[in-house]
Amino acid sequence: MEDIKILDAVERYIRGEMNPDERLHFENLRKTNAEIDLLVVEHTLFLQQMNRFGEWKKFRSSLNDVHTQLTEQGKIDSTRLKGKAKVVYLFNRYKRVAAIAAVIAGVTTISLSALVWSVSPKPPSSADYLELSRKVDAAKTKTDRLENDLAVVKSEKSSKPSIAYKTVGTGFFIDASGLMITNAHVVKNSRNISVFNEKGDKFNAIVLKLDINRDVAIIKIDDENFKQFSTLPYGISKNSADVAEPIFTLGYPRDEIVYGEGYMSAKTGNNGDTLSCQIAIPADPGNSGGPVFNKKGEVIGVLSAKKTNAESAVFAVQSKYIYKALEELKTNALYKKVKLSSKSSVAGLSKVQQVKKIQDFVFMVKGD
């Protein structure tokens, strides 16, 4: 109670709200009591910082307002330029994809025409005519049937989006735009990859990079329903964790997100592999590809494999490998700008709060 009154007095003193008598009294107190003097100095610094911070924040948000307003009034070019530049931007963005698509299309066309040429009937002799027409008839019915089948398959596909998934694992975001990390074995043989958030919403994803050796895959959500995040609550650590450091993981061994905690067992993985590490944590197949966090809420690894003959030996790929893998991905013009953060905004929170913030960014990954 006493402390509150003192602080209250200090604040009123700093703001100059004291009357002259009180002020004199307080200044005397300040001279005789070093603790109070220190508190005044410290609190002045703090309040100044707070004030400046407040103004800075206000100015920042006012800039955004001004930007929107001026754009709406057409006083700055923001949107118009966007429209004009968009074509160029899209061209730059997709020129690689377009080139690849063109090559594929070209190859397909050539091989198809070669195929058609090789199987197309040589000019028939008249005796073959009847036979041939029957054959054509037969072929036609066959095609019809095929077309019907195809239609059925198509309608099934569109009405029932449920794909028969063969692999299930966990994945987590490494940037706000929708890049995720998971295990390579979860997605390597899949044609369709879907990811599900904790609420069960489904998004389609594509594989950008597979490293079978490391068992790490970078995938990207490719779905118009996906809204980009503004930021991630956790960072990706560039350093290795220490032995005995407490760690935790989130994953989907079942349909619901499951929390597990343990500790770092060894800084290296199998046979002294320095890019992975050994951890002791409960892990089931669905945990594959899940993030491993330290107590600051920084990702220190990607859960990857369990040694079958030792119950508690689980291995994880160290997070610094994520940076390495991303560097390779950056050779692709589309992903040049991707930047990972190593800072975690949940660092000081309790475990419960951390998990609450993080769990929205850990998804279930399924492949067919």
Partner 1 sequence: MKDQIDEQALLKGLAISDKKAVETIYQENFNMVQSLIINNNGSSDDAKDVFQEAMIVLYEKARSGTFELNCQIKTFVYSVARRLWLKRLQQQNRFSATSDNLENLIPVENELEEHEKVNVEFELMEKALNNLGEPCKSLLEAYYLQKQNMHVIAANFGYTNADNAKNQKYKCLMRLKKIFFTDYKNGNDDGGY
- Collapse the DSSP code of 248 into the 3-class scheme (helix H, G, I; strand E, B; otherwise coil) and give the result: strand
Q: 93 or 142, CB closer to partner 1?
A: 93
Q: 32 or 73, CB closer to partner 1?
A: 73
Question: What is the nearest approach in angstroms of partner 1 to the Cβ of residue 29?
Answer: 19
Question: What is the nearest approach in angstroms of partner 1 to the Cβ of residue 181?
Answer: 20
Q: For residue 245, what are the contacts with CB-CB under 8 A and spacing of at least 6?
A: 263, 264, 294, 295
In 3D space, the residue among 153, 180, 203 whose CA is nearest the CA of residue 326 turns out to be 180
Q: 210 or 338, CB closer to partner 1?
A: 338
Tokens representing residue 341 in the block: 């953060």
Question: What is the nearest approach in angstroms of partner 1 to the Cβ of residue 347?
Answer: 7
Question: What is the nearest approach in angstroms of partner 1 to the Cβ of residue 333?
Answer: 10
Question: What is the nearest approach in angstroms of partner 1 to the Cβ of residue 323?
Answer: 13
Question: What is the nearest approach in angstroms of partner 1 to the Cβ of residue 103?
Answer: 26
d(CA 232, CA 104) in angstroms, rounded, equals 37
Chain position carrying tokens 């369990």:
306
Q: 36 or 258, CB closer to partner 1?
A: 36
Q: For residue 350, what are the contacts with CB-CB under 8 A and spacing of at least 6?
A: none
How many C-beta neighbours within 10 Å does residue 355 have?
18
Question: What is the nearest approach in angstroms of partner 1 to the Cβ of residue 336?
Answer: 7
Q: 69 or 108, CB closer to partner 1?
A: 69
- In the chain, the amino acid numbered 121 is P
Question: What is the nearest approach in angstroms of partner 1 to the Cβ of residue 246?
Answer: 19
Q: For residue 296, what are the contacts with CB-CB under 8 A and spacing of at least 6?
A: 344, 346, 347
Tokens representing residue 183 in the block: 């295990």
d(CA 324, CA 318) in angstroms, rounded, equals 11
Q: 85 or 102, CB closer to partner 1?
A: 85
Q: 80 or 307, CB closer to partner 1?
A: 80
Question: What is the nearest approach in angstroms of partner 1 to the Cβ of residue 11?
Answer: 10
Binding site for partner 1 (CB under 8 A): 3-4, 7-8, 42, 46-47, 49-60, 62-64, 66-67, 69-70, 75-78, 81-82, 85, 89, 330, 336-337, 339, 345, 347-349, 353
Question: What is the nearest approach in angstroms of partner 1 to the Cβ of residue 155?
Answer: 40
* Range list of H helices, 122-180: 129-159
Tokens representing residue 235 in the block: 């960072």
Contact assessment for residue 237 and residue 260, using Cβ atoms and an 8 Å cutoff = no
d(CA 350, CA 358) in angstroms, rounded, equals 12
d(CA 278, CA 273) in angstroms, rounded, equals 10
Surface-to-core class of residue 126, CB atoms within 10 Å of its CB (0-12 exposed, 13-18 middle, 19+ buried): exposed
Q: 78 or 109, CB closer to partner 1?
A: 78
In 3D space, the residue among 226, 164, 221 whose CA is nearest the CA of residue 366 turns out to be 164
CA angle 48, 49, 51 (to 5 degrees): 65
Q: 97 or 102, CB closer to partner 1?
A: 97
Q: 329 or 349, CB closer to partner 1?
A: 349
- The neighbouring-strand residues paired with 173 are 180
